[in-house]
Amino acid sequence: MPSKVYFTKDISPEGLAKVYKALDLDVTNGGKNKVGIKVSTGEDGAKGYLKPELIGPFVKSLNGTIIECNTAYPGARNTAKDHIEVAKKHGFTTYADVDIMDAEGEFEIPVPKNSKHLKYDLIGENFKNYDAIVNLAHGKGHAMGGFGANLKNQSIGIASRNGKAYIHSAGKTKSPKLCWISKHKQIDFIESMAEAATAVSDYLKEENKPIIYITVANALSLDCDCDSKQGDPVMSDIGIFASLDPVANDQAFIDAIWASKDKGAEDLKERIDTREGRAILPYAEALGLGSTKYDLIEI
């Protein structure tokens, strides 16, 4: 049965509120739940990250906490202290608390039994503290993964610094220094992200904690918000996608790029396919994370 994906062209606080309402799932449980909202706070120098004026009212409406983990690469967000400073600079602390979840450590969660690369997933210790999760992704390209949306936000984004290294090396090393020289096929990295994203989903199901998925497809650059030299958008904004199924939500985002008549979409397609980015979708489906089949409901 196809999953439901809700879509609006209205990229605004009101648009975000509309797609959340359409999901018909109160992640706050009447205000009782502590809600973690996974958003990329953006590397220092990046410009495409989701802006406070867009997502701030939505985050406040859920009394949410912005949750992040430190980066595996050298930069301005690979320690908790520096990461908080960048989050503050980018305006996130003006409307929510920011929790760098691996500041105090990490813990292992199981990956699916049919995983080919990872033996476990390593995520930030403080992820345990949240009763519900909102995976609020910025849809864009990515230098290594081809594209970034909900699956990347749930795999690399929730992984601890060591966990990120483990995923990037396709299970070869947990060392942030060694992962970048690890020898593996590109497809192995892509599939490792799917395994990690599925591990997080399975963990939340086991703990009976809800998660929803929203992707804001604006400022569509070739590179990720983790790139300090992130370029300008290469195509026009698309809209906001929301679903209870991360595979369907990412598939809808990808399909919208492929359906676009914007000339810049060709550059983004090339970025995605030269990195084998679309391969994450059928593999995640095979792992049981979700479905590539969906019904798009425009609101």
CATH number of the domain where residue 127 is located: 3.40.50
Rounded CA separation 179/169 (Å): 5
pLDDT at residue 74 is higher than 90 = no
Supply the range of the domain harboring residue 144.
3-298
Rounded to an integer, the average pLDDT of 43-50 is 93
Count: domains in the chain:
1
Rounded to an integer, the average pLDDT of 73-89 is 93
pLDDT tens, position by position, 144-171 = 999 999 999 999 999 999 999 999 999 9
Rounded to an integer, the average pLDDT of 198-218 is 98
pLDDT at residue 244 is higher than 90 = yes
**pTM of the full structure:** 0.98
pLDDT at position 227: 83
Rounded CA separation 246/161 (Å): 23
pLDDT at position 75: 85
Give the pLDDT band of residue 232 (cuts 50, 70, 90): very high
Question: Who's near 141: CB < 8 A, 6+ residues apart?
Answer: 147, 148, 220, 221, 222, 223, 224, 234, 268, 271, 272
Rounded to an integer, the average pLDDT of 136-142 is 97
Return mean pLDDT, the chain.
97
